Structure 1
């Protein structure tokens, strides 16, 4: 499987990253089946978060790491400082608390890729970068990034880090998919637009895309007449996306692959380093993702797929 390099890590990161928002200890057999299958196809990176399943996702992953004895071979991407019912929590205290929880649950003494799950523009980037660098110096974090951070805030943070001899953000994790959202799927979420992608290309900043396949928009399950999923209708139902779906299907037929594999290939063939977070739960879904990750698309094909307006 193709890999990318992220500054701060001495391990490569596989272009497919296995999601774990359905992992729990009470379905541990399924967790093992999914992770064993994912690693068998060449993957090495697991995405999780402090809030997933109330922390049980990290617990289940920690048990798998212990049982397999393979921590040194695995890249862990976890996220912290998500807001709660009281509001934003992007501050040194919340970061320290969430990181401590995650390390304990995962049964490890370091996190490979640590992302702030949300941003709080009211907090100066200096406060955030200083706090994260304390944990880097302590050996608890290898590389830091922003999940759902604007490129403007990412650059502001990295400018501060460079001016002060500190480690800045070396990856970003917004949504990037061929289907373009009309509005955020969840409040505070960021989807990379053309301007954001231009920034990533200029900086060659790695982008790790969540909902890389637009929550199943390209599976064939959805059409303008099928409106049983209110969130999908709200976020992805648009004339432009139906045309992107049609074009993806046309290109898939020409290449002898599936439409959803073209959607995955769109993410993985950007002119900057990218990875796609996947939610594969069966061997068939894993194999589809593996094949999709091998598809090559040209710059012209990418432009034709997305530029429909």
Structure 2
């Protein structure tokens, strides 16, 4: 599996990241078999979050790592400080609270990739970077990241870090897909638009994309006549997305590969370092994801998929 480098990590990060938001201990056998297959395929990075399944996701991964005794071989990406029913939680107290519990659930004393799950633009970046660096210096975190932060806020935070001799964010996790969101799918989520991608190219900061297939839109699960899923209609039903889906099908047919694999390959063939967070519910889905990760697209093909003929 192809890899990228993220500042702060001791090993390269596989371009496919195993999404585990659906894992729970009641189905530990299935989760374990999927994680076993993923690592056997060369995958080494696993995604979870403090809020996933009320902690079930992190607990399941922690139990699996403990049973396999493979903590040093696995890169854990987890996230914290997501808002709840009380409102925004991007503050030093919530960050420390969530990190402490995540470490306990995962049965580890450090997190490889720790990301703030949402942003609160009303909070100054200074106290956020300060507390993250405290945990970094304590060895509880190896690399700092932001999930669903705008590139402007990430740059602001990194400027503060540089000015104060601290470590800033070394990765971002936002949505990058051929299926472009018309409106945010969930409150506070951030898609990577053209300017965001230009910033990533100029800075070289890795982007770890969630929902790379647009909630199944690029997998061909929907059609203009299929309007029962109101969330998908609201978020993805646009003429531009139908056109990008059709172009993906055309190029996939030409290359002799499934269109869903080509759509995923688009994310992994950007002019800056990228990974794709991919969930799998069955072993064959992992096989398809791995095949997509091996596809190479030219810059011209990537541009055509997104913009069409100029």
Shorter-chain TM-score category?
A: over 0.9
**Aligned partners of 1:147, 1:216: CA distance in 2, in Å?**
21
Q: Structure 2: any 5+ residue segments left out of the alignment?
A: none
**Aligned partners of 1:266, 1:51: CA distance in 2, in Å?**
29
Cα shift at 1:41: 1.1
Q: Which residue of 2 aligns with 1:82?
A: 82
Q: Which residue of 1 aligns with 2:193?
A: 193
> Structure 1 residue 243 and structure 2 residue 227: aligned?
no
Q: Which residue of 1 aligns with 2:157?
A: 157
TM-score, normalised to structure 1's length?
A: 0.99
**Aligned partners of 1:34, 1:22: CA distance in 2, in Å?**
12
Query: Which deviates more, 42-51 or 211-220?
Result: 211-220
Query: Please, what is the CA RMSD of the aligned residues?
Result: 0.9
Q: Which residue of 1 aligns with 2:23?
A: 23
- List 4+ stretches of structure 1 deviating above 4 A: none
Deviations 1:82-104 (A, max 9, x none): 00111100000000000000000
> Structure 1 residue 38 and structure 2 residue 27: aligned?
no
Q: Which residue of 1 aligns with 2:278?
A: 278
Output aligned runs, 1:128-207, within 5 Å: 128-207=128-207
Deviations 1:60-89 (A, max 9, x none): 000000000000000000000000111100
SS at match of 1:99: helix
Deviations 1:164-221 (A, max 9, x none): 1101000000000011010111010000000000000000000000001111112222
Query: Which deviates more, 150-159 or 31-40?
Result: 31-40
SS at match of 1:214: coil
Deviations 1:25-64 (A, max 9, x none): 1010111011011111110000000000001100000000
TM-score, normalised to structure 2's length?
A: 0.98
